[in-house]
């Protein structure tokens, strides 16, 4: 088995996956592409950051993205999140607009969502890597099989988790989740290209109402 550096709780939950042929092939492909000179994002130490930043024992919410950002310095291993100093992507601007509508928060000037992860929000992309300037370039590498299993295992072994599924791709994962054990929130994608409908979905308020009803602390969605 490849020794994957990942938060211990997640490592125990996912150790079966790390032994499977598709995952071993995935790792070899990443090594080969990197050796050939391809720029792959995020950097190696950040590939599993969504898990490292959100220890399994704290998990309350899963937000599912599709693909890491594919420009230099943008991807940081957390879906929709960008490091300080990077311009806010349009989807993230709309996420902040929905928070402003719901809670009156000012629009932040930086897009680092790490404070959410620290509170138990898993910011999971379906693919954990991407090639420079090539969106969805690793969608057939095996990552989708891996992250589908993450969703399935969380849904199976835990209760009372909020799953936020934004856009058709994320909503296609609905079948992996038992709605009798978890809250599934669906809406259009926050991207302006999705035709609207995201702003006004009330997901952040609905998530916190559900978590409070479960006896859990609500998430403070303000990042600054």
Which DSSP helix (H) or strand (E) runs through 170?
Answer: helix 167-171
Q: Within a 10 A sphere around the Cβ of 175, how many other Cβ atoms?
A: 10
Assess contact for 67 and 87: CB atoms under 8 A: no
Tokens of 110: 């930086």
Q: Is 134 helix (H, G, I), strand (E, B) or coil?
A: strand
Residue of 67, 148, 178, 217 marked catalytic: 67
Q: Quote the CA–CA distance of 78 and 111 in Å, as a whole number.
A: 11
52 is known as an active-site residue: no
Strand (E) positions, the chain? 40-41, 61-65, 121-125, 130-131, 162-166, 183-187
Active-site amino acid positions: 67
């Amino acid at each position: 088995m490849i020794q994957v550096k990942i938060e211990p709780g997640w490592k125990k939950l996912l150790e079966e996956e790390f032994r499977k042929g598709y995952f071993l092939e995935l790792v070899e492909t990443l090594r080969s592409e990197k050796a050939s000179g391809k720029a792959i994002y995020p950097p190696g130490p950040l590939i599993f950051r969504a898990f490292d930043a959100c220890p399994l024992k704290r998990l309350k919410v899963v937000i599912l993205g599709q693909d890491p950002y594919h420009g230099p310095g943008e991807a940081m291993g957390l879906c929709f999140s960008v490091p300080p100093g990077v311009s806010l992507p349009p989807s993230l601007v709309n996420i902040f607009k929905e928070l402003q509508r719901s809670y009156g928060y000012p629009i932040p000037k930086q897009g680092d969502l790490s404070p959410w992860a620290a509170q138990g929000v898993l910011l999971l992309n379906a693919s954990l890597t991407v090639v420079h300037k090539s969106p969805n370039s690793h969608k057939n590498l095996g990552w989708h099989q891996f992250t589908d299993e993450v969703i399935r295992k969380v849904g199976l072994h835990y209760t009372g988790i909020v799953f936020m599924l934004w856009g058709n791709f994320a909503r296609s994962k609905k079948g992996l989740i038992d709605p009798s054990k978890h809250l599934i929130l669906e809406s259009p994608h926050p991207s302006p290209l999705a035709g609207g409908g995201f702003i006004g979905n009330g997901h952040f308020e609905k998530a916190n109402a559900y978590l409070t009803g479960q006896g859990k602390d609500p998430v403070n969605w303000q990042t600054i």
